[in-house]
Amino acid sequence: MYAGVKVEVLETEFEQSFEREPSSYSWGFFAYDDTPGSAGGGAGNFSWFDKKEDLVLFLQKFPLLAHSLGTTDAELFEKAKGFLSTVTAESFDQKKVDELNQIISGVEQIQWFGQFSDLLSGETEFAQGLRKFFSSSTNHLSKIQIPEFAEFLRNWGR
């Protein structure tokens, strides 16, 4: 059990979020394991959702995220859960992500969150870096490149 949720259910929900095919309007985040490298830290995944509301509900349900299955720090879990209980889809922004990252530091970090379209044409360092790694250019991606880019993101960070 993980915070009252069967581990099998947790693993299924995470796997579904990793495997969803993003559309231009999908909301998602990239989170990585913030434990030391010697303990398996650093690995990460994108999780995708149809709506921002679904992303926030997912984080509220799993405040320490997938890589934290072995975490036994109940106090940290409760802090993250308490913080996320005050967040709505309307209020969830980069400032809230930064606050959450402070709380869950040493366990998990959300490196990016936003809409898939932000990665296709956004000017952030993260979006440009992904596009450069994908296509050797920071130029915006064309519609024809989207399916291949979505598949590329499915394997990014693993």
* Digit-coded pLDDT (tens) for 82-131: 999 999 999 999 999 999 999 988 888 999 999 999 999 999 999 999 99
- Give residue 1's pLDDT band: very low, low, confident or very high (50, 70, 90): very low
For residue 139, being part of any structural domain is answered with no
Range of the domain at 42: 7-116
For residue 31, being part of any structural domain is answered with yes
For residue 42, being part of any structural domain is answered with yes
For residue 70, being part of any structural domain is answered with yes
Q: What is the mean pLDDT of the chain?
A: 86
For residue 150, being part of any structural domain is answered with no
Question: Residue 38: pLDDT above 60?
Answer: no
In this predicted model, which residue has the larger pLDDT, 86 or 74?
A: 86
For residue 36, being part of any structural domain is answered with yes
Count of other CB atoms within 10 angstroms of residue 18: 17
Phi, psi of 31 (to 5 degrees): -120, 145
Question: Residue 9: pLDDT above 80?
Answer: no
Question: Residue 32: pLDDT above 50?
Answer: yes
The pTM assigned to this predicted structure is: 0.85
For residue 11, being part of any structural domain is answered with yes
Check residue 2 and give its pLDDT: 52
